[in-house]
């Protein structure tokens, strides 16, 4: 045998041994990582109505384990506990304290995620209880701001047949909402712990070029026990976004129809136009977002029941349910580095999409900074002030938070 053949044989033998070692079943544990996340939060709510001010102290403890990979297979298990600290001087929608303002962080423990995942060069598949965050989470997200995260029971698959193209499909048969982990005598049709039904999520995203990403989507939401099925819907839309020379942009349009057994005849539109500019670390952004209203019996406005709503239309969460006349939100703000931390400030002006009502305006400010001496510990101070005109009441909210992630 020639020296070259011997060398090739030796290389093949070494490669085979290396591949065998890399696919050892024990790597599921050896390459795994523990999950530990602690988040303390104080939330104060002051509203100009008959309700008592809310003062909530809660601690969210998250523990779990992310396995390594074996032939592309991996697993994750994660449990959450939300515990009240001190007096229950707030309405968490499960404690019956309805003479206080709402802080929607019920006590309890549950499995947050429990899944099996398969990764391949052409995509991936996930089965079980999981996070699903699509695009900017305007229609499907995890509501990560609240102490009990929203997760989804079902199957998700992603296919990447071409460079830049990602095709996503998910089937969901239960949504574990932020109002869990369990229902009791105080729950309503508007805040079930678990949303039942059959939903199909279809999302196709293509990075056309560095300056342009195009996304088309269709979300069939069968939400049988949420608002008596009145929020079951079919939403179809297209989103264009990108950045050129520091200038970012987003254009989006969607249309919403009724779906499943929704007794209402839905027909409303969504529009978004956003422009931003980043210079020396300061990101400026302004936008105009419209969730259309609709005349007729009941509230048939454009709704986003599975969205991470806190990230949109102001942090005071005044418009979690779109009013029947819709919402127009004109906003401007910036994020900037400050004294080693990050400052964010936003201003919103809200009005009705149908009619001439001026709903009100809102100012939001937050500052986050790593806490010295403890790696992974971050502090946050956050304020939101809604000034009511023709909708809701004046609302001030203040948050103090410390979060540790291992």
pLDDT in tens, 271-317: 999 999 999 999 999 999 999 999 878 899 999 999 999 999 999 99
Residue reference for tokens 């136009």: 273
| Three-class DSSP labels, the chain | CCHHHHHHHHHHHHHHHHHHHHCCCCHHHHCCEEEEEEEEEEEEEEECCCCECEEEEEEEEEEEEECCCECCEEEEEEEEEEEECCCCECECCCCCCCCECECCCCCEEEEEEEEEEEEECCEEEEEEEECCCCCCCCCCCCCCCCCCCCEEEEEEEEECCCCCEEEEEEEEEEEECCCCCCCCCCCCCCCCCEEEEEEEEEEEEEEEECCEEEEEEEEEECCCCCHHHCCCEEEEEEEEEEEECCEEEEEEEEEEEECCCCCCCCEEEEEEEEEEEEECCEEEEEEEEEEECCCCCCCCCCCCCCCCHHHCCCCCCCCCCCCCCEEEEEEEEEEEEECCEEEEEEEEEEECCCCCCEEEEEEEEEEEEECCCCCCEEEEEEEEEEEECCCCCCEEEEEEEEEEEC
Residues 6+ apart with CB under 8 A from 21: none
- Position 3 scores a pLDDT of 39
- Position 295 scores a pLDDT of 81
- Position 7 scores a pLDDT of 39
- Position 23 scores a pLDDT of 87
Q: Confidence band (pLDDT; 50, 70, 90) for 168?
A: very high
Between 21 and 238, where is the model more confident? 238
- Position 56 scores a pLDDT of 98
Asked if 254 contacts 269 with a C-beta cutoff of 8 angstroms, the reply is yes
Q: Nearest to residue 175, comparing CAs of 224, 208, 106, 209?
A: 224
- Position 18 scores a pLDDT of 42
pLDDT in tens, 170-217: 999 999 999 999 999 999 999 999 999 999 999 999 999 999 999 999
Does pLDDT of 13 surpass 90?
no
Does pLDDT of 16 surpass 50?
no
- Position 145 scores a pLDDT of 98
- Following CA atoms 385, 369, 138, 270 in sequence, which dihedral angle do they give, to the nearest 10 degrees? 50
Residue reference for tokens 């900074």: 369
Does pLDDT of 76 surpass 90?
yes
Domain 31-405 belongs in CATH node 2.40.160.10: yes
For the chain, what is the mean pLDDT?
A: 94
- Position 57 scores a pLDDT of 98
Mean pLDDT of 77-95: 97
Between 236 and 23, where is the model more confident? 236
* Burial class for 184, CB neighbours closer than 10 Å (0-12, 13-18, 19+): exposed
Q: Confidence band (pLDDT; 50, 70, 90) for 382?
A: very high
Cα 38 from chain centre:
19
- Position 298 scores a pLDDT of 85
**Pairing of β 194-209 and β 212-221:** antiparallel
Does pLDDT of 2 surpass 70?
no
- Range with the poorest average pLDDT among 46-50, 108-112, 291-295, 316-320: 291-295
**Pairing of β 395-405 and β 233-244:** unpaired
Does pLDDT of 389 surpass 70?
yes
Mean pLDDT of 84-101: 97
Mean pLDDT of 83-95: 97
State whether the Cα torsion 354-359-363-364 is positive or negative. Answer: negative
- Position 297 scores a pLDDT of 86
State whether the Cα torsion 249-255-259-264 is positive or negative. Answer: positive
Mean pLDDT of 345-369: 97
Does pLDDT of 17 surpass 70?
no
Q: From CA 257, how far away is CA 300, in angstroms rounded?
A: 10
Does pLDDT of 232 surpass 80?
yes
State whether the Cα torsion 76-133-234-321 is positive or negative. Answer: positive
């Amino acid at each position: 045998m020639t020296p070259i053949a011997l060398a090739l044989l030796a290389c093949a033998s070494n490669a085979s041994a290396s591949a065998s070692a890399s696919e050892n079943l024990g790597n599921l544990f050896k390459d795994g990582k523990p999950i530990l996340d602690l988040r303390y939060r104080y939330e104060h709510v002051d509203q100009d109505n008959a309700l008592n001010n809310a003062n909530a102290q809660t601690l969210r403890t998250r523990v779990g384990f992310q396995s390594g990979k074996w032939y592309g297979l991996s697993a994750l298990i994660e449990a959450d506990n939300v515990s009240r600290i001190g007096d229950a001087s707030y309405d968490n929608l499960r404690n019956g304290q309805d003479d206080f303002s709402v802080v929607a962080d019920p006590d309890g423990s549950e499995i947050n995620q429990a899944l099996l995942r398969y990764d391949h060069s052409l995509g991936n598949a996930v089965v079980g209880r999981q996070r699903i965050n699509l695009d900017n989470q305007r229609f499907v997200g995890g509501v990560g701001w609240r102490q009990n995260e929203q997760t989804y029971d079902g199957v998700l698959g992603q296919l990447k047949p071409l460079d830049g193209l990602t095709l996503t499909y998910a089937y969901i048969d239960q949504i574990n909402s932020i109002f869990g982990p369990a229902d009791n005598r105080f729950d309503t049709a508007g805040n079930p712990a678990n949303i039942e039904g059959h939903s199909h999520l279809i999302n196709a995203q293509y990075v056309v070029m560095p300056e342009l990403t195009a996304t088309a989507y269709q979300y069939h939401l069968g939400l049988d026990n949420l608002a008596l099925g009145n929020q079951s819907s079919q939403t179809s839309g297209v989103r264009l976004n990108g950045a050129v020379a520091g200038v970012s942009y987003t254009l989006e349009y969607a249309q919403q129809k009724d779906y499943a057994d929704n007794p209402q005849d839905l027909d409303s539109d969504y529009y978004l136009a956003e422009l931003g500019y980043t210079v020396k670390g300061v990101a400026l952004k302004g936008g105009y977002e419209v969730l259309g209203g609709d005349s007729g019996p009941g509230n048939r406005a454009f709704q986003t029941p599975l969205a991470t709503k806190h990230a949109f239309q102001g942090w005071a969460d005044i418009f979690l349910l779109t009013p029947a006349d819709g919402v127009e939100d004109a906003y401007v703000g910036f994020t900037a580095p400050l004294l080693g931390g990050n400052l964010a400030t936003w201003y919103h002006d809200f009005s009705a999409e149908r009619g001439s009502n001026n709903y009100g305006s809102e100012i939001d400010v937050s500052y986050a900074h790593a806490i010295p001496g403890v790696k992974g510990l971050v502090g946050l101070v956050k304020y939101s002030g809604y000034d009511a005109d023709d909708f809701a009441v004046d609302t001030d909210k203040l948050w103090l938070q410390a979060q540790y992630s291992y």
